[in-house]
A and B are shown apart, each in its own frame.
Chain A
Amino acid sequence: MTLLDFARGPALQAALIIFVLGAVWRIVGALTAPWRLVPANPREGALSPAVAALKGVFVKMWPHKPFQQAGLFTFVNGYVFHFGLAIVVLLFTPHILFIKGLTGLNWPGLPSNLIYMVAVITGASLIAGLVHRLRSPVLQLISRNDDYLSWLLTFLPVVTGLLATSHLGARYETLLALHILSICAFLIWFPFGKLMHAFLFVFSRGMTGVRMGQRGAEL
């Protein structure tokens, strides 16, 4: 069995099973867990929980005025690599074919050249994010191994993907295998670390909205 066969076969299978199992576990667990709301009546004029939840999800997509100056880089850079990742993952034809193979869903992709450009920007943005984190004493205080591991496992697929498409460093099939293996590592770690925010951010922000709404706080 070649490395590529291993990556496309057993490795991908195991990683996807762990990913689905872990992610569903955590989502179902979070949704069916008891809602720890303050056992008090909502303030007068408080938002209904549904509206508060929605506001919580969307209002937080841009920083509050007072934080705009200080948090600008984090926000802009964050958007750059999140959108970059979404474009690369969802609009590169080989990726679409991969998703189609799993789910049967299909949609048109973008030209590969464009995707390479976006991937380069995404990689640069990820590096900028890491540098920012390492240079900020505050971020240093709240960073854990999870943050660095999650960063690394996001960065590796981008780099290996770029290397594979540009045939740099090794033969294409080896690079492709490494790319797929790096995605396997990403998928395996996903449900158990901060990467899970991709699913959970909706719930946590919504819940924050509901709690703050109940207290009549401005969102």
Chain B
Amino acid sequence: MQRSQTLGEILDSRGVSRRAFLKYASYVSALMALPAGSAAAMAEGLAAARRQSVIWLSFQECTGCTESLTRSFSPTLESLIFDFISLDYHHTLQAASGEAAEKARETAMAENKGKYIVVVDGAVSTKDGGLYSTIAGVANVDMLRASVKDALAVIAVGTCAAFGGIPKARPNPTGAAPVDEIVTDKPVINIPGCPPIPEAMAGVISYLVSFGKLPELDDLRRPKAFFGETIHDRCYRRPFYERGLFADGFDDAGARQGYCLYKVGCKGPVTYNSCATLKWNGGVSFPIQSGHGCLGCSEPDFWDQGGFYRPLSTSLRDLGPALAGAAVAGAALGAGAAWASRRHQAAYVKEQAASEGGKK
């Protein structure tokens, strides 16, 4: 495939018309709630763009993100994204391996200097020079630094890349760090989630390719289009929350009635993601619809929030012994103060009696 050809030309040669572009663009702009009418502009942008070179780096991860993103679409409208990008390096997916694979990465970087996108899934080990996770003998942290040097932008896919995720969970033995702690001089977009919603990924890349700029991000660098609202904001169980109807367990009458899952640990109120609207597995369901509270997987340090079943409004720490100790100490202080007061009073009475006796 010639790199100089536009996407419009490439797809045209395969009999794909501009209508497909327009249709795809209206799909993406609906996903991202772009202003009405952006679809046409996006379609033109996409058709005029070159195929986007993508270098995909997998570090301390479980491959769940890759699975989520590549297995989610059958060849229809949604899968067009794979025609818009050229996945020049992905060591899990690509056919080449070893030396050849690393060569492919270097070639893509050289050919698309300043124009390629680096996608990272997985956290980056930084402790002891990053020796806990290496590819072809190169530490992840070094490969990341080298790969982003001439990149246009970096997309951290999944909670591990975006926030450190499970590798960074206490006690973080490998010194795992999120991508944006290491890449400080390039634009970084975080698409967290464990795994992230595939549509978010497709939406962000399409936006980048067609408009040549980053979508609007929140303070954690997440695209607002997908992370602008909490699960709780759009949860269909919300009416039960408002009316104080809660499931107390996973198999009680409340659970069967589909009551709100707050009491069994739902983190929906503090979790920004689109699961409640976009849903999963081609729109089949999402965790709350399947009867389980939200784990908060797209938020930083979700693994260390004191337990998935601990309600949001409770203390993160086990306070029983500390509070018992405080009560005992308080009682001792109180009793001590009273004792001191009694002694003081007794001494005073004695003194008074003595001075009165003296007067007589």
Asked whether any CB of A lies within 8 Å of a CB of B in the complex, the reply is yes
Give me the interface of A with B, judged by CB distance under 8 Å: 1-2, 4-5, 8-10, 12-13, 16-18, 20-34, 93-95, 97-98, 100-102, 109-115, 167, 172-173, 176
Among residues of B, the one whose C-beta sits closest to the C-beta of A98 is: B313
In the complex the two chains form, is A21's CB within 8 Å of B327's CB? yes
Query: In the complex, what residues of B have CB within 8 A of residue A10's CB?
Result: 317
In the complex the two chains form, is A8's CB within 8 Å of B315's CB? yes
- With a 10 A CB-CB cut-off, give which of B243, B329, B334 has the most chain A CB atoms: B334
In the complex the two chains form, is B338's CB within 8 Å of A28's CB? yes
Q: In chain B, residues 257-274, which have Cβ atoms closer than 8 Å to a Cβ of chain A?
A: 262-263, 269-270
A109 vs B306: C-alpha distance in the bound complex, in angstroms? 24
Quote the shortest CB–CB distance from A194 to chain B (angstroms): 19
For chains A and B in complex, what number of residue pairs have CB atoms within 8 angstroms? Answer: 137
In the complex the two chains form, is B244's CB within 8 Å of A94's CB? no
Query: In the complex, what residues of A have CB within 8 A of residue B319's CB?
Result: 12-13, 16-17, 102
In the complex the two chains form, is B329's CB within 8 Å of A21's CB? yes
In the complex the two chains form, is A24's CB within 8 Å of B269's CB? no
Name the one of A18, A20, A94 contacting B262, with C-beta atoms under 8 angstroms.
A94
A5 vs B296: C-alpha distance in the bound complex, in angstroms? 13
In the complex the two chains form, is A13's CB within 8 Å of B246's CB? no
Query: In the complex, what residues of B have CB within 8 A of residue A102's CB?
Result: 314-315, 319, 323
In the complex the two chains form, is B327's CB within 8 Å of A13's CB? no
Chain B at the A interface: SS class: helix
In the complex the two chains form, is B337's CB within 8 Å of A29's CB? yes
Quote the shortest CB–CB distance from B301 to chain A (angstroms): 7
Name the one of A21, A29, A110 contacting B244, with C-beta atoms under 8 angstroms.
A110
Can you list the 3 inter-chain pairs with the closest CB atoms, starting with the nearest? A28-B334, A24-B330, A101-B314
Known: A13-B322, A102-B315. A21 touches B270 (CB 8 A): no
Number of interface residues of B (CB under 8 A): 43
Name the one of A12, A34, A114 contacting B316, with C-beta atoms under 8 angstroms.
A12
Flag B316-341 by CB within 8 Å of A: 1 or 0 each.
Answer: 11010011011101110111011101
A21 vs B327: C-alpha distance in the bound complex, in angstroms? 5
Quote the shortest CB–CB distance from A86 to chain B (angstroms): 17
Among residues of B, the one whose C-beta sits closest to the C-beta of A15 is: B315
Among residues of A, the one whose C-beta sits closest to the C-beta of B330 is: A24
In the complex the two chains form, is A98's CB within 8 Å of B314's CB? yes
In the complex the two chains form, is A21's CB within 8 Å of B311's CB? no
In the complex the two chains form, is B326's CB within 8 Å of A5's CB? no
Query: In the complex, what residues of B have CB within 8 A of residue A22's CB?
Result: 330
In the complex the two chains form, is B335's CB within 8 Å of A28's CB? yes
A112 vs B341: C-alpha distance in the bound complex, in angstroms? 48
Known: A16-B323, A23-B330, A112-B242. A32 touches B315 (CB 8 A): no
Quote the shortest CB–CB distance from B26 to chain A (angstroms): 30
Known: A2-B301, A34-B341. A20 touches B327 (CB 8 A): yes
Quote the shortest CB–CB distance from A205 to chain B (angstroms): 20
Among residues of B, the one whose C-beta sits closest to the C-beta of A24 is: B330
Q: In chain B, residues 234-268, which have Cβ atoms closer than 8 Å to a Cβ of chain A?
A: 241-246, 262-263
A18-B326, A34-B345 known; 14 new pairs, CB 8 Å cut-off, are A9-B315, A13-B317, A13-B319, A20-B326, A24-B334, A26-B330, A29-B337, A31-B338, A33-B337, A94-B262, A95-B313, A97-B263, A102-B314, A111-B243
Q: Let me know if B230 is at the binding interface, CB within 8 A.
A: yes
Known: A21-B330, A172-B269. A16 touches B315 (CB 8 A): yes
Quote the shortest CB–CB distance from A134 to chain B (angstroms): 34
Quote the shortest CB–CB distance from A59 to chain B (angstroms): 28
Query: In the complex, what residues of A have CB within 8 A of residue B312's CB?
Result: 94, 176
Query: In the complex, what residues of A have CB within 8 A of residue B270's CB?
Result: 4, 172-173, 176
A95 vs B312: C-alpha distance in the bound complex, in angstroms? 10
Quote the shortest CB–CB distance from A96 to chain B (angstroms): 9
Quote the shortest CB–CB distance from A128 to chain B (angstroms): 28
Name the one of A12, A29, A33, A111 contacting B315, with C-beta atoms under 8 angstroms.
A12
In the complex the two chains form, is A25's CB within 8 Å of B333's CB? yes
Q: Let me know if B342 is at the binding interface, CB within 8 A.
A: yes
Query: In the complex, what residues of A have CB within 8 A of residue B242's CB?
Result: 111-113
A109 vs B248: C-alpha distance in the bound complex, in angstroms? 12
Among residues of A, the one whose C-beta sits closest to the C-beta of B246 is: A93
In the complex the two chains form, is B262's CB within 8 Å of A2's CB? no
Q: Let me know if B310 is at the binding interface, CB within 8 A.
A: yes
A175 vs B333: C-alpha distance in the bound complex, in angstroms? 36
Q: Let me know if B300 is at the binding interface, CB within 8 A.
A: yes
Q: In chain B, residues 140-170, which have Cβ atoms closer than 8 Å to a Cβ of chain A?
A: none
A112 vs B240: C-alpha distance in the bound complex, in angstroms? 9
Query: In the complex, what residues of A have CB within 8 A of residue B244's CB?
Result: 93, 109-112, 114-115
